[in-house]
């Protein structure tokens, strides 16, 4: 039953990757998850760095030009930052409140990704995202809410008195997310 569930999840992820156009970050994520799950099925150690390396190797085998893609470089740099920097940053602060813990984890994760991708961002775009912390502190919770609301809204769309309000809440969440990102982008 567990193997069947994992197989269905992996098939769904690969279907999504194909439908979305197989961008570098999607391929990296789905390949890493696939390697991670296969290791689990084989009762092997589930190691993020191993999954990252194997996914890079597999992608390069199928597309030798992939490492020259900005998306590939940024995606792998961000995950390397999460692997190497995030645990150290996260451990710098102790907190008793769940809310403070969530905020600190978001800040530590954002700093880890930005520190790892900053050289590439500057190399390719000649700039550094100055407001990444503010953006992530707002965008991550709003996008998480939207991701939870989306399947609920789809499932309840034809139910009277639930479907329409659910759709409006989802739309409001996405509009707020877009508005906040637009405001921060204009700074």
Question: What pLDDT score does 14 carry?
Answer: 93
Tens digit of each residue's pLDDT (9 = 90 or more) over 107-146: 999 999 999 999 999 999 998 888 888 888 888 889 999 9
Residue ranges of the chain with per-residue pLDDT less than 50: none
Residue-level pLDDT at 121: 93
Could you give the CA distance from residue 123 to residue 127 in angstroms, rounded to a whole number? 8
Query: ∠ at Cα 106 (33, 74), nearest 5°?
Result: 55
Check residue 161 and give left, alpha or beta (phi > 0: left; psi -120 to 50: alpha).
left
Cβ–Cβ contacts within 10 Å for residue 172, how many? 12
CB 136 within 8 A of CB 106: yes
Is the pTM higher than 0.95? no
Which residues make Cβ contacts (< 8 Å) with residue 170, sequence separation at least 6? Answer: 146, 149, 150, 153
The Cα-based distances of 143 to 6, 38, 70, 152, 174 in angstroms read 25, 29, 24, 15, 8
Q: What DSSP assignment string belongs to 82-139?
A: HHHTHHHHHTT---S-HHHHHHHHHHHHHHHHHHHHHHHHHHHHS---TTHHHHHHHH
pLDDT of residue 11: 92
- What is the spatial distance between Cα 60 and Cα 66, in angstroms, rounded to a whole number? 6
What is residue 75's predicted lDDT score, i.e. its pLDDT?
A: 92
């Amino acid at each position: 039953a567990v193997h069947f569930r994992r197989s269905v999840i992996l098939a769904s992820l690969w279907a999504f990757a194909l439908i979305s156009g197989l961008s570098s970050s999607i391929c990296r994520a789905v390949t890493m998850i696939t390697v991670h799950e296969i290791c689990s099925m084989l009762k092997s150690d589930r190691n993020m760095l191993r999954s990252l390396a194997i996914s890079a190797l597999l992608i390069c085998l199928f597309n030798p030009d992939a490492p020259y893609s900005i998306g590939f470089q940024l995606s792998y740099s961000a995950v390397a930052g999460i692997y190497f920097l995030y645990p150290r940053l996260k451990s710098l602060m102790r907190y008793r409140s769940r809310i403070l813990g969530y905020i600190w984890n978001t800040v530590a994760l954002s700093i880890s990704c930005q520190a790892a991708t900053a050289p590439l961002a500057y190399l390719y775009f000649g700039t550094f995202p100055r407001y990444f912390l503010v953006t992530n502190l707002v965008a991550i919770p709003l996008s998480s809410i939207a991701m939870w609301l989306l399947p609920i809204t789809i499932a309840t769309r034809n139910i009277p008195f639930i479907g329409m309000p659910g759709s409006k809440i989802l739309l409001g969440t996405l509009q707020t997310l877009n508005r906040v990102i637009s405001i921060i982008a204009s700074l």
